[in-house]
Protein backbone atom coordinates (compact mmCIF):
# COMPACT_ATOMS: atom_id res chain seq x y z
CA UNK A 1 0.00 0.00 0.00
CA UNK A 2 0.98 3.58 -0.50
CA UNK A 3 1.30 6.50 1.81
CA UNK A 4 1.05 10.26 1.65
CA UNK A 5 3.33 12.09 4.06
CA UNK A 6 3.14 15.69 5.10
CA UNK A 7 5.99 17.50 6.79
CA UNK A 8 6.26 19.04 9.23
CA UNK A 9 3.33 17.93 11.36
CA UNK A 10 3.42 21.21 13.28
CA UNK A 11 4.83 24.47 11.96
CA UNK A 12 5.29 27.58 14.07
CA UNK A 13 6.21 30.79 12.30
CA UNK A 14 6.32 34.48 12.93
CA UNK A 15 3.99 36.95 11.29
CA UNK A 16 5.38 37.99 7.91
CA UNK A 17 7.61 34.93 7.63
CA UNK A 18 7.78 32.76 4.50
CA UNK A 19 6.96 29.17 5.37
CA UNK A 20 7.02 25.97 3.30
CA UNK A 21 4.94 22.84 3.75
CA UNK A 22 5.85 19.60 1.98
CA UNK A 23 3.87 16.62 0.76
CA UNK A 24 5.15 13.31 -0.64
CA UNK A 25 3.13 10.41 -2.07
CA UNK A 26 4.24 7.02 -3.33
CA UNK A 27 0.98 6.00 -5.04
CA UNK A 28 2.30 7.28 -8.37
CA UNK A 29 -0.81 9.50 -8.48
CA UNK A 30 -0.94 12.17 -11.16
CA UNK A 31 -3.00 14.81 -9.37
CA UNK A 32 -2.17 16.44 -6.05
CA UNK A 33 -3.99 19.05 -3.98
CA UNK A 34 -3.52 21.47 -1.11
CA UNK A 35 -6.51 22.31 1.07
CA UNK A 36 -6.85 24.59 4.03
CA UNK A 37 -9.08 23.59 6.93
CA UNK A 38 -9.95 26.24 9.48
CA UNK A 39 -11.13 25.15 12.90
CA UNK A 40 -14.69 23.88 12.67
CA UNK A 41 -14.92 24.69 8.98
CA UNK A 42 -14.79 22.77 5.73
CA UNK A 43 -12.06 22.30 3.16
CA UNK A 44 -10.97 25.11 0.87
CA UNK A 45 -8.81 24.41 -2.16
CA UNK A 46 -5.61 26.42 -2.38
CA UNK A 47 -3.72 24.86 -5.31
CA UNK A 48 -3.77 21.68 -7.30
CA UNK A 49 -1.52 20.08 -9.87
CA UNK A 50 -2.61 17.69 -12.61
CA UNK A 51 0.88 16.47 -13.38
CA UNK A 52 4.53 17.27 -12.76
CA UNK A 53 5.29 20.99 -13.29
CA UNK A 54 1.60 21.83 -13.63
CA UNK A 55 -0.05 24.29 -11.21
CA UNK A 56 -3.70 25.33 -11.00
CA UNK A 57 -5.10 27.93 -8.61
CA UNK A 58 -7.94 27.05 -6.29
CA UNK A 59 -10.37 29.34 -4.53
CA UNK A 60 -7.88 30.45 -1.87
CA UNK A 61 -4.57 30.85 -3.73
CA UNK A 62 -3.85 34.46 -2.78
CA UNK A 63 -0.95 34.57 -0.33
CA UNK A 64 0.32 31.14 -1.35
CA UNK A 65 2.69 29.66 -3.91
CA UNK A 66 3.03 26.03 -4.89
CA UNK A 67 5.62 23.87 -6.61
CA UNK A 68 5.40 20.43 -8.27
CA UNK A 69 8.90 19.62 -9.48
CA UNK A 70 8.44 15.87 -9.19
CA UNK A 71 5.40 13.69 -9.65
CA UNK A 72 5.69 12.42 -6.11
CA UNK A 73 5.97 15.74 -4.32
CA UNK A 74 3.96 18.93 -3.99
CA UNK A 75 5.06 21.89 -1.87
CA UNK A 76 3.07 24.82 -0.58
CA UNK A 77 4.63 28.12 0.45
CA UNK A 78 2.91 30.67 2.65
CA UNK A 79 4.48 33.82 1.25
CA UNK A 80 3.88 36.02 4.32
CA UNK A 81 2.31 34.28 7.30
CA UNK A 82 -0.59 36.05 8.96
CA UNK A 83 -2.20 35.34 12.31
CA UNK A 84 -5.61 34.87 10.69
CA UNK A 85 -4.42 31.92 8.67
CA UNK A 86 -3.68 29.57 11.50
CA UNK A 87 -5.21 26.36 10.24
CA UNK A 88 -4.58 22.76 9.26
CA UNK A 89 -3.22 22.32 5.75
CA UNK A 90 -4.16 19.06 4.09
CA UNK A 91 -2.45 17.51 1.09
CA UNK A 92 -4.27 14.96 -1.06
CA UNK A 93 -3.64 12.95 -4.20
CA UNK A 94 -5.72 10.97 -6.65
CA UNK A 95 -4.89 8.70 -9.57
CA UNK A 96 -7.52 9.59 -12.17
CA UNK A 97 -10.73 11.56 -12.56
CA UNK A 98 -13.60 10.31 -10.38
CA UNK A 99 -11.28 8.24 -8.23
CA UNK A 100 -10.91 8.63 -4.49
CA UNK A 101 -8.78 11.23 -2.82
CA UNK A 102 -6.13 10.03 -0.39
CA UNK A 103 -5.33 12.64 2.23
CA UNK A 104 -2.29 13.17 4.38
CA UNK A 105 -2.71 13.75 8.09
CA UNK A 106 -2.10 17.48 7.81
CA UNK A 107 0.29 20.23 8.88
CA UNK A 108 -0.98 22.44 11.68
CA UNK A 109 0.24 26.01 11.24
CA UNK A 110 0.58 28.39 14.17
CA UNK A 111 1.55 31.99 13.55
CA UNK A 112 2.88 34.03 16.48
Partner 1 sequence: GDSVTQTEGQVALSEEDFLTIHCNYSASGYPTLFWYVQYPGEGPQLLFRASRDKEKGSSRGFEATYDKGTTSFHLRKASVQESDSAVYYCALSPYTGNYKYVFGAGTRLKVIA
Contacting positions for partner 1 (CB under 8 A): 31, 33, 40-43, 45, 48, 50, 56, 58, 90, 92, 97-98, 100-101, 103-106
Question: Smallest distance, Å, CB 8 to partner 1?
Answer: 14
Question: Residue 85 carries which DSSP code?
Answer: G
Q: In this structure, are residues 13 and 112 in contact, taking their beta carbons and an 8 Å threshold?
A: yes
Q: Give CA–CA dist 52/54, Å, rounded.
A: 5
19 versus 92: smaller Cβ distance to partner 1 = 92
84 versus 98: smaller Cβ distance to partner 1 = 98
Question: Residue 51 carries which DSSP code?
Answer: S
75 versus 93: smaller Cβ distance to partner 1 = 93
Question: Residue 105 carries which DSSP code?
Answer: -
Q: In this structure, are residues 49 and 31 in contact, taking their beta carbons and an 8 Å threshold?
A: yes
Question: Smallest distance, Å, CB 80 to partner 1?
Answer: 26
Amino acid sequence: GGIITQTPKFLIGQEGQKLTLKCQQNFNHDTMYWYRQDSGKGLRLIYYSITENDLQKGDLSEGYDASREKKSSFSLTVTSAQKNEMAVFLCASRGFANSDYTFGSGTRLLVI
